[in-house]
Amino acid sequence: MAHSGIDVLTMGSNFWRLLGGLWITIRIALVASIIGILLGSLLGILRTLPNRPLRVVLRLYLEFFRIVPTVVLLFLFYYILPKQFNLNLPANQVATLVFALWVAAEMSDIVRGALQSVSTHQREAGQAIGLNYWQLQRYVLIPQAWPLCLPATVNLLTRVVKTTSLLMLISVMDVINIGQQIIEANNKTDPNGVFWIYGIIFLFYFLINYPLSRWAKHLTQHQLEATHL
Amino acid sequence: MSTPLLTVSHLEKSYQKTHILHDISFDLDAGEVLTLLGPSGSGKSTLLRCLNGLEAFQAGTLTFAGEVITQKAKQWQQLRQQIGMVFQSYDLFPNRTVLENILLGPLKVQKRSRETVLPEVEKLLQQVGMRDYRDAYPRQLSGGQKQRIAIVRALALKPRLMLFDEVTASLDPEMVRDVLTIIRQLADTHQMTMLVVTHEMDFAQQISDQVLFLADGRIQEQTPGPQFFKRPQTSRAQNFLASMDF
Amino acid sequence: MSWAIIQQSLPLFAKGFVLTLKLATLGIIGAIIVGLICSLIYYFKLPILTPIVTIYTEVARNTPLLIQLFFLYYAFPILGWRLTASQCGIIGLIFLGGSYMAAGFTGGFDGITKSQIEAGQAIGFTRWQLARYVILPQGLALSVPALAANVIFLIKETSIFTVIAIPELTNTALDLIGMYYHTNEYLFVLVIAYAIILIPLSLILTYLERRVRYGTFGH
């Protein structure tokens, strides 16, 4: 090796450009997660209703998003929205939409599972003191269910962050895409730069995800101890 | 008198900051049945578990058959073949049949041959009335039946000492008697040395040669069985017996 | 949507289908082996190896497969290790999947009740016998649901192989779209192809979970 190539990171505005790409990545993950969690919570509550057709439709929605890989989902929306619906959204909005719908699907299942795990005794006790449907949700079920949702939701967030790596596939100017531009621009002078650029992106992802996954683990253990007492 | 089978002297056990057992000392002679009585939380089960290496203790010595127990994992693994233990939750291995559960110890741990072990095991199964269930899985048995198998599983190793830790506490009342009868036969006809933790006072009265009464992690009194139930020495024990409606 | 276009593309998709299955199978088998070894090291707290396993699983679980593949495919040749795209794909899937499988197995081992382990100790099992007769059979049975979820997850992850131009299903579809622009048809076939793999598989795995659970624990 002539030289290590690490100076690719410090040359010019390279590092700042990478951080800018990272910010776009994070922003998409954040916005999609917030929309997805809100929408998914609502769908999760709806999935506990006795309405059978509604349950079937929502279940199909979940299964579709579970079966089709996220890469394919991105391309489906990227190609089909403009073509079939004449909707020309910028790539990062398409990505936000896809991620939000995907998060909502997964979230709906987390919320449904948690709501159903609140015991029937609690449900009946609430009904016995005359609470109506929404009061039952508001005062009995949701307060007991939401701590149960928390670990799985944090886990879902780590998956969202990892999945943002796919943004580059539909040409969003995310951290990976910018990394590739830098690698190509410096390929002649700095063939080893590829190692450092991908290395730093690797590190970025780890630094975001590691605390999240530790938190999820902590929450899970906390919950296990609570249920064993 | 010959040397005791088990000698516990000045045993101390604490868990993190809490002291669970204080200065526990007693002897157990071969053929003797010692019952541990006391209010819940008095440390009876913990003491029993210390005697089988399931809990470590911080001070004191255990001597079993003249051998000082050093609390090394290897030594406990050897000793457990001589000290059988039966638990409240039976804990048969769910993925193995009754016979496999029983044979694991003699065949795999003691490396004895199947031909010599099998007749012994058949006899034990016969004694506890479970001969027809040798190929059943634990899921097909009732709680009382599982507990009888768990007793046979421990006996199959030919232990010199048996520890019974509240073995009837999770059983339906009508099954309790069957299991207790088996334990009593073991004492009467086989002169098995036993340490028993139980809440069944009638049973304790029938079986105990000695009673060790524990409260707050200390031995309050050690008294011969018949005498303990008539005239306990300490007021703690009097109150305890009164509270057990006995 | 044109049936003729779909029909013409089917031979190519069939090739991609087979390649997806082949790479996924190799990757998943490798991941299960790596995961089992790691979880045993972790469970028995083997010296030296335990911290290595911990670092590996944290790194693999907390970084995207796409970057792992880029590293293998573009950055490793600089160190002198040159691999074909398919080799990178399999290694990447094993690297990622191994950490997920390790977590699945560990969850199973942790799920064994303390009293079962004590019952084994009480009949004098050595450490190895305890592993052989109690921990492995029960831990493996308890980890089946998590492993099944990982299998589905890893098959879907093979779609990311397209970034290093492995001609699996997704790559086949994107290539065809790039050449002929029949997006509707090709994406339709692509979704159906994944459904053909994943729907029966998830039904089989659910059935298997139930069988193993009943066979081991009786409920």
DSSP per-residue codes, A142-186: HHHHHHHHHHHHHHHHHHHHHHGGGGGGGT---HHHHHHHHHHHT
Residue C139 near chain B (CB below 8 Å) = no
Length of chain C measured in residues: 219
Residue A198 near chain C (CB below 8 Å) = yes
Q: For residues B20 and B245, which has the higher predicted lDDT (pLDDT)?
A: B20
Domains and their CATH numbers in chain B? 28-57+70-82+161-246 (3.40.50.300), 94-158 (no CATH)
Asked, for residue A1, whether it belongs to a domain, the answer is no
Question: Closest partner residue to C115 among B53, B89, B108, by Cβ?
Answer: B89
C-beta pairs of A87-94 under 8 Å, 24+ apart in sequence: A91/A167, A91/A170, A91/A171, A91/A172, A92/A24, A92/A28, A92/A167, A92/A172, A92/A173, A94/A170
∠ CA B22-B28-B31, rounded to 5°: 155
Beta-carbon separation of C187 and A72 below 8 A:
yes
Dmax (CA) for chain B in angstroms is 55
- In this prediction, residue A229 carries a pLDDT of 47
> How many CB atoms lie under 10 A from the CB of residue B45?
19
The phi-psi region of residue B23 (left if phi > 0; otherwise alpha if psi is between -120 and 50; otherwise beta) is left
pLDDT digits (tens, 9 = 90+) for B190-243: 899 999 999 899 899 999 999 999 999 999 999 998 899 999 999 999 999 988
- Residue C143 corresponds to which tokens in the numbers above? 């980890």
Domain extents for chain C?
3-217
Rounded to the nearest 10°, the torsion over CA B128, B133, B138, B144 is -30
pLDDT digits (tens, 9 = 90+) for C152-179: 999 999 999 999 999 999 999 999 999 9
Q: What is the CATH number of the domain that holds A177?
A: 1.10.3720.10
Count of A-C CB contacts under 8 Å: 99
What is the span of the domain harbouring residue A54? Answer: 7-228
Residue C211 near chain B (CB below 8 Å) = no
pLDDT digits (tens, 9 = 90+) for C57-92: 999 999 999 999 999 999 888 888 889 999 999 999
pLDDT-based confidence at residue A49 (cuts at 50, 70, 90): confident
> How many CB atoms lie under 10 A from the CB of residue C54?
14
Q: What ipTM, to 2 d.p.? A: 0.90
Question: Closest partner residue to C133 among B91, B92, B93, by Cβ?
Answer: B93
Rg (CA), chain C: 21
pLDDT-based confidence at residue A227 (cuts at 50, 70, 90): low
Q: What is the pLDDT along chain C (219 residues), one digit of tens a residue?
A: 889 999 999 999 999 999 999 999 999 999 999 999 999 999 999 999 999 999 999 999 999 999 999 999 998 888 888 899 999 999 999 999 999 999 999 999 999 999 999 999 999 999 899 999 999 999 999 999 999 999 999 999 999 999 999 999 999 999 999 999 999 999 999 999 999 999 999 999 999 999 998 888 877
Asked, for residue A2, whether it belongs to a domain, the answer is no
Question: Closest partner residue to B80 among C115, C124, C141, by Cβ?
Answer: C124
How far apart, in whole angstroms, are the C-alpha atoms of residue C13 and residue C174?
A: 11
SS3 call for C191: helix
B7 contacts B63 by C-beta, under 8 angstroms: yes
pLDDT digits (tens, 9 = 90+) for A29-39: 999 999 999 99
Going by C-alpha positions, the residue among B157, B162, B158, B128 that lies closest to residue B145 is B128
Contact residues of C toward A, CB < 8 A: 58-59, 61-68, 70-71, 74-75, 78-79, 156-157, 159-160, 162-163, 170, 173-174, 177, 183-184, 187, 190-191, 194-195, 198-199
Name the β-bridge partners of B37.
Answer: B213
Beta-carbon separation of B109 and C218 below 8 A:
no
Task: Say which CATH topology domain C3-217 has.
Answer: MetI-like fold (1.10.3720)
SS3 call for A139: helix
Which 87-126 residues of chain A touch chain C by CB within 8 A?
A: none
Which whole number is the average pLDDT over B50-75? Answer: 90
Q: Is the pLDDT of residue B66 over 60?
A: yes
Q: Is the pLDDT of residue A3 over 70?
A: no
User: Do chain C and B touch: 3 or more Cβ pairs under 8 angstroms?
Assistant: yes
- In this prediction, residue B122 carries a pLDDT of 95
Q: What is the nearest CA distance from C65 to chain A, expressed in angstroms? A: 8
Q: Please, what is the end-to-end C-alpha distance for chain A in angstroms?
A: 60
Q: What is the nearest CA distance from C138 to chain B, expressed in angstroms? A: 8
Beta-carbon separation of C124 and B157 below 8 A:
yes
Percent of chain C with pLDDT over 90: 90
Percent of chain A with pLDDT over 70: 97
Say how many domains are in chain A.
1
Beta-carbon separation of C122 and B78 below 8 A:
no
Q: What is the nearest CA distance from A142 to chain C, expressed in angstroms? A: 27
Asked, for residue A70, whether it belongs to a domain, the answer is yes
Taking contacts as CB-CB distances below 8 angstroms, the residues of chain C near B157 are 123-124
B237 contacts B213 by C-beta, under 8 angstroms: yes
Taking contacts as CB-CB distances below 8 angstroms, the residues of chain B near C219 are 139
pLDDT-based confidence at residue B160 (cuts at 50, 70, 90): very high
Beta-carbon separation of A192 and C62 below 8 A:
no
